[in-house]
Chains A and B, each alone.
Chain A
Amino acid sequence: MWKWLKRAFLSEHEWAAQQLSAYLDDELSPPDQDRVEAHLQECPTCAEKLRTLRWTVNLTAQMPMLKVPRSFLIAEVLAQPRRPPLSVAYVYLRGATVAVAALLLIVLASDFLLPYTLPPTIPAPQMAIREALPAVEEVQVEREIERAAPPMSPAPREAKAAAKPVVATPTSEEKAAKEIELEAEQVAEEKVEQEPMILMAPPAEQPPDRGVGLKGGEAATEQETPAEKRAVAFAVVAPTPTSARVVPTPTPPPPRRIVKAEVVPSPQPAPPPPAAAVAELTEPAVRSFSPWRSALRFAEVGLGLLMILLVGSTLILRARQG
C-alpha cells in the first residue's frame, strides 16, 4: 500500500534514482528492471548517477580480506559445559511457576496487611455496644448461672436420681427448694471445672402425666403447673464420651430465683462469657473487610494448590531432561 502510494507520487526520475542501487545488484524484478533501463536511455543525469554509484561499489569491493590476528579455534574445555536446549514446556512451566509464586506472595501480603490498610469503620451505635460490653457480659454470666442452676446435672446425678426415685408432694416444696439450693451451689462450683455445653431446647409442651417419668423422677418437677411447663426449658448436656443426652427440665420454681440471687455474689470466679456472644457483639467492627478476607483466603488456597502442582511438574520435567 505504502509502496504503491509512494510510487504514485514520485516522478519517474525520482523513482528510477532510488532503484539504481538495486538495479546495480540485479535485485529488481524484470518489469522494474526494464523500466529503469528505459529511463536510463532518456535521462543522462541518472546514467551519470549510475556510473558514480558503480564506481563507489567497485572501490568498496576492493577492500581486502583481513588477516586474523590470532586463532579463533574453540578449545576442548568449551565443549564440556554445553547443555542441551531446554524444552519449550519446561520453559513455560518454569515461567508459570514463578508467576504463580509471585501472585501467591502478593495475596499473602494483602491478607496480612488488610487489617492495617482498611481502617475499621465502627458506627456510633456499635461503639455504644462496645462500651456497654462489660455490662452485657455480666448479664451473660447471670444467664449462665441460671442455666446451670437447675438440678439437671451431668450423668452421675442422673444415675443417683434413678437409683433413688423421689416422689414429691406439695408439702415437701421447701425441702425440695433446699435441695435445689445445695445442688445449685454444687453446680456453680462444678461448672468451672466441667464447663458443660449448654443447648437451648424447644419449649416443652408436656402433658402432666409425663412429668414424673422423664428421667427416673426428678425432684420438684411433677407438681408444676401447665403454665410453668410451657415455659422455656433448659437442657444441660454433660460432656460424656459416649453420648450427649438432652434432658428437658421444667421452669424453675420461684425459690430458684432466690437461689440465683444467692449464687451470683458467691466468691467463685465468674465463668467467662461465651465466645459466640462476644463475637456477635464485636462482629460489626470487622464486617467491613470480612468479604475481602474470605476472598483472599480462597485465593490463597487455590494458588497454593496450583503452586504445588506447578512445582511438581517442573521438577519432574527437569529431572527427565537431566
Chain B
Amino acid sequence: MDEEALIAAAQQGDTTAFNRLVLQYQDIAYTVAYRIMSDPHAAADATQEAFISAYQGLPRFRGGSFKAWLMRIVTNACYDELRQRKRYPHSSLEALYVEEPMPASSLNSPLESPEETVQRQELSCLLQAGIALLPDDQRVVLVLSDVQGFSYQEIAEAVGVPRGTVKSRLHRARAKLQDYLLDREELLPARYRLASGAPT
C-alpha cells in the first residue's frame, strides 16, 4: 500500500494504516526533534506528541507533502517544548550531560570501520553543540535543510514562512555554524578538517 492510500485509510480512522506511517517517519521525526532540542528525553516526548497531534489532525490534511506536514507538527511540538524549557531552565542544564543517542544506521553500515564510526560520532557531538547555539528559528531551518535534506519549499511549508525567509535564515545559520567550526577545527578528527582536504 502506497503512502497516499495509507493516509486515506488513516483519515478514515484506520489506526493500523497510521502506525505504518509512524514506522516510516519516526526516525526522521525523532532526529529532527533531537537536533532542534539537544535533549533525547524532550525529543522523545515532542515526537510522541507530534504523532498524536498528527493523528488527531489528519482529517484536516488536504494533500501535498505529508513529510513536510508532519515535520511542521514536529517543529511546532519542539517549539512548545522549548518554550516550556525556557520557563524551567534546569532541564536544559540536564541536557548538557546527556550523551547523543545512538545512530540508527551504525550497526548496519558495513562500509564504515569502527574507528570512523567513533570519529563520526565525535563530529556529530561537536556539530550538535554548535547547532544548539543558534537561535531557534535558524536552528530549525538548518536542521531541516542540512541534516534532513529538505528543499526550500518543503522547509517553507514545514515552518510556515516564505521561501525568501528560509533562504535568509539558512544563510545566517550557516555563517554562524561555519565560524563555530573554524574556531574548533583542531577538535575535529583529522579527516574532517578543512586544511587536510576534507570533502568540500
Chain A positions within 8 Å of B, measured between CB atoms, are: 18, 20-22, 25, 27, 51-74, 76, 78-79, 82, 84-85
Question: B interface, by DSSP: helix, strand, loop or mixed?
Answer: helix
Given contacts A72-B26, A72-B47, A74-B52, contact A63 B35 (CB under 8 A): yes
Task: Decide if A22 touches B171 in the complex (CB within 8 Å).
Answer: yes
Please, which residues of chain A bring their CB within 8 A of the CB of B35?
63
Report yes or no: A73 in contact with B105, Cβ–Cβ below 8 A. Answer: no
Q: Cβ of B127 and Cβ of A63 under 8 Å apart?
A: yes
Q: Are A52 and B194 in contact (CB under 8 A)?
A: yes
- Within the complex, the shortest CB–CB distance from A34 to chain B, in Å, comes to 18
Q: Is the CB of A64 within 8 A of B105?
A: yes
23 CB contacts below 8 A, A to B, read A21-B167, A25-B145, A52-B178, A52-B194, A55-B198, A56-B174, A58-B198, A59-B123, A59-B198, A60-B147, A62-B123, A64-B120, A66-B34, A67-B27, A67-B101, A67-B103, A67-B104, A72-B51, A74-B15, A74-B55, A78-B15, A82-B13, A85-B60
Contact A63–B178 (Cβ < 8 Å): no
Q: Determine whether the beta carbon of B177 is less than 8 Å from that of A65.
A: no
The 5 A-B pairs at the shortest CB distance, nearest first, are namely A64-B103, A60-B146, A21-B171, A67-B104, A56-B178
Give the residues in chain B near A64, CB-CB below 8 Å. Answer: 103-106, 120, 124
Contact pick for B200, options A27, A51, A62, A84, CB 8 Å:
A51
In the assembled complex, B63 has its CB within 8 A of some CB on chain A: no
Question: Which of chain B's residues have a CB closer than 8 A to the CB of A78?
Answer: 15, 52, 55-56
Chain A residues with CB under 8 A of B192: 59
User: Is the CB–CB distance between A68 and B181 below 8 Å?
Assistant: no
Any A CB within 8 A of the CB of B159: no
- CB atoms of A62 and B120 under 8 A apart: yes
A27 to B163, CA, bound (A): 10
A85 touches B59 (CB 8 A): yes
B96 at interface (Cβ–Cβ under 8 A)? no
Distance between A32 CB and nearest chain B CB, rounded to angstroms: 11
Report yes or no: A61 in contact with B22, Cβ–Cβ below 8 A: no
Check A65/B104 contact, CB under 8 A, given A22-B167, A55-B200, A56-B177: yes
Tell whether, in the assembled complex, residue B104 and residue A27 are in contact, meaning their CB atoms are under 8 Å apart.
no
Could you say which of A55, A56, A58, A73 contacts B23, with CB atoms under 8 Å apart?
A73
A68, A73, A78 pick with most chain B CB within 10 angstroms: A68
Q: Would you call A66 and B27 a contact (CB within 8 A)?
A: yes
The reply to whether the CB of B69 lies closer than 8 angstroms to some CB of chain A is no
- Enumerate chain B residues within 8 angstroms of A20, measured Cβ to Cβ: 171
Partner of A59, one of B13, B47, B55, B127: B127
Asked, given contacts A57-B146, A65-B103, A69-B101, whether A84 binds B59 with beta carbons under 8 Å apart, the answer is yes
Q: How distant is the Cα of A143 from the Cα of B129 in the complex, in angstroms?
A: 101
Contact B194 A73 (CB under 8 A): no
Q: How many Å from the CB of B25 to the closest CB on chain A? A: 9
Query: Told that A21-B175, A55-B198, A78-B52 touch, could you supply 19 new A-B pairs with CB distance under 8 A?
Result: A52-B200, A55-B194, A56-B178, A59-B192, A60-B127, A63-B124, A65-B28, A66-B101, A67-B106, A68-B30, A68-B44, A68-B47, A73-B22, A74-B51, A74-B55, A78-B55, A79-B15, A85-B59, A85-B60
B182 within 8 A of A: yes
- In the bound complex, residues from chain A placing their C-beta under 8 Å from that of B75 are none
Q: How far is it, in angstroms, between the C-alpha of A34 and the C-alpha of B90 when the chains are bound?
A: 50
Asked if B92 is at the interface (CB within 8 A of a chain A CB), the reply is: no
A61 CA to B200 CA in the complex, in Å? 12
Q: How far is the CB of A214 from chain B (nearest CB, A)?
A: 88
